[in-house]
Amino acid sequence: VAEKVARVVRKDLIAPDVYEVDARWVSPPEVTFRAGQFVSLRCDGSGNTRRSYSIASSPSDTGGIELLVKLVPGGLGSALFRDLEVGHELHGTGPMGFFVNELRHGGDVVYAATGTGLAAALPMVQETLARPNEHGRVILYWGMRTASELYWLDRLERLAHPRLELHVCLSRATDVPRGGPLRRGRITSPVLAVVPTLASPIVYLVGNGDMVKELKDELVALGLDRRRQVRTEVFYPATKRGE
């Protein structure tokens, strides 16, 4: 598969160890994709090491991609983004992936994302909200640890829509101001509490493997169809601790 090339035009540190990167396509100059898809980027000269990154921008922008990248210690993908500068090129394949919205949602829709999983979830939520023939509830849960790690609250605010309910769940926060989208705890309990109240729900799970596995198992135990009603994208594998 021929690699595509994009040139970095912006790299902003938006939270501790989290970068927002805007890259514009060079070759080919325009690329189409579906909300939720990712690119697989080459991390070294040999091309043997690749890492995947979800496209955070809207599919209406075919001239480039926005990525949201959390640096983790010691990794090759993280080194690529740590050293990346404006003007550098990204080489990769894609866009690809099957974690995309159903072509039509007959009922309510839940998106549950942890960490940078928000990158995939945001454009999918936007796409669903823009569908004139869908009328169900759209509920987005974003799981983070503390308020100091948060980013893109402005983007989340701009999503505001009569069909959208937004919950930002902070698993390690001790006190959370009342009245806004912030709440204490992990995303698992509120998702499991709301799903039985929904009409023909489809649940999209994206982010850390432990969350995805735990919620998928529990949702299937609640009676959701494993294949048709629970759709998943794992960013990194589940640990044995199940934390």
Ligand X SMILES: Cc1cc2nc3c(=O)[nH]c(=O)nc-3n(C[C@H](O)[C@H](O)[C@H](O)COP(=O)(O)OP(=O)(O)OC[C@H]3O[C@@H](n4cnc5c(N)ncnc54)[C@H](O)[C@@H]3O)c2cc1C
CB of 85 vs ligand X, minimal distance in Å: 18
Residue 229 interacting with ligand X (CB under 6 A): no
The verdict on 38 binding ligand X (CB under 6 A) reads: yes
Tell me the closest approach of the beta carbon of residue 71 to ligand X, in angstroms.
7
d(CA 98, CA 65): 18
By CB under 6 A, residue 94 contacts ligand X: no
Q: Is 52 in the site for ligand X (CB under 6 A)?
A: yes
The tokens for 67 are 């990525």
Number of chain residues interacting with ligand X (CB under 6 A): 20
Contacting range for ligand X; rule: CB under 6 A; set: 64-72, 165-173, 189-197, 222-230: 64-72
- Binding of residue 115 to ligand X (CB under 6 A): yes
Q: Using CB under 6 A, which of 69, 110, 166, 169 touches ligand X? A: 69
* Closest by Cα among 77, 9, 85, 12 to 38: 77
Residue 44 or 165 having the CB closest to ligand X: 44
70 binds ligand X (CB under 6 A): yes
Does 187 participate in binding ligand X (rule CB under 6 A)? no
> Applying CB under 6 A, does 23 fall inside the site for ligand X?
no
19 lies in the site for ligand X, by CB under 6 A: no
